[in-house]
A = this chain, B = another copy of it.
Amino acid sequence: MKNQTSAGPVVRDRQATRMKLIQAVGTILSEKGFTALGVNAVARKAGVDKVLIYRYFGGMEQLMEAFGRESDFWPSIQELAGGDQAAYARLPLSEKLSQLTLNYTRALQSRPLTLEIMAWEMVERNRLTAELEAMRESTIMHFYEKFFDQHKVNVDLQALTAVIGAGLSYLVTRGRNIDIFNGIDLKSDQGWQRIQAAINIIILAFLKDRSTDKPSKGDRHANK
């Protein structure tokens, strides 16, 4: 066993090299953004030859895919529920929705890399964006089943959350590049408080007189 190669320089470790490449993807994305992402840049950043990207992953697409899996890009159900799922489950529907939107906003704002990818999703579809999309749909779906299915409502809850969720995604993503949207200051806490306040009102008003957790009233006409 001559495993001690003296002052061994140049360690050869496939797994370590793979990791270096995967991490380099994240570094490039956060430093330069998606437009700068490519085999040359990633290999340079990782301090490794670019041919290894092809050898170990099959190409840039697959490397991005691997990058997508080995990170906490997307908030977990736990995080979206605010940490205590049992407590969350006991909240009334309006509170659940309100908390969800707040947690969602914070989760996004704390993930610059996710925002970078979400922005890129608008422009291009590749394995990384597809991977993230799948995660997202899956998480949201499970969240729905776990916490919302129990509530009997005669309103289109999916449409409501779609609009609000889309709105938040847009505002957070956009907030990286612009200061003011529609008169709201996206760089200040006060601006986000206005948004959150409006969403809370929307949720309360949307549910009011239109749904009850106890389906006893015979009221069924939702619109007009």
Residue of B nearest to A199 (CB): B163
Please measure, in the bound complex, the distance between the C-alpha atom of A184 and the C-alpha atom of B161, giving whole angstroms.
10
Of A6-14, A42-50, A167-175, the segment with at least 4 beta carbons within 8 Å of chain B is A167-175
Question: What residues of chain A have their CB less than 8 Å away from a CB belonging to chain B?
Answer: 33-35, 118-125, 133, 137, 140, 155-156, 158-171, 173-174, 177-178, 180-184, 194-195, 197-202, 205-206, 208, 210, 222-223
Contact status B184-A159, CB under 8 Å: yes
- 26 pairs of residues in contact across A and B, judged by CB atoms under 8 Å: A34-B123, A118-B122, A119-B123, A120-B123, A122-B123, A123-B123, A125-B177, A133-B178, A156-B194, A158-B183, A158-B184, A159-B184, A159-B194, A159-B198, A162-B181, A163-B163, A163-B164, A163-B195, A163-B199, A166-B171, A166-B182, A167-B170, A197-B222, A198-B206, A201-B206, A205-B206
Across-interface contacts of A163 in B (CB, < 8 A): 163-164, 167-168, 171, 195, 198-199, 202
Contact status B197-A156, CB under 8 Å: yes
| Residue among B122, B167, B200 making CB contact with A166, cutoff 8 Å | B167
Contact status A182-B206, CB under 8 Å: no
Across-interface contacts of A122 in B (CB, < 8 A): 118-120, 122-123, 173-174, 177
Q: Which 4 A-B pairs have the closest CB atoms?
A: A205-B205, A167-B167, A159-B198, A119-B122
Task: Give the Cβ gap from A172 to chain B, nearest Cβ, in Å.
Answer: 9
The dominant DSSP class at the A interface is helix
Contact status A197-B166, CB under 8 Å: no
Q: A123-B34, A161-B182, A183-B158 known; A223 and B199 CB under 8 Å?
A: no
Across-interface contacts of A162 in B (CB, < 8 A): 167, 171, 181-184, 195, 198
Task: Give the Cβ gap from A186 to chain B, nearest Cβ, in Å.
Answer: 9
Across-interface contacts of A161 in B (CB, < 8 A): 182
Q: Apart from A122-B177, A163-B195, what 10 extra A-B contacts exist at CB < 8 Å?
A: A125-B177, A156-B194, A158-B183, A161-B182, A162-B181, A166-B182, A167-B167, A169-B170, A170-B170, A201-B206
Across-interface contacts of A181 in B (CB, < 8 A): 162, 166
Contact status A155-B195, CB under 8 Å: no
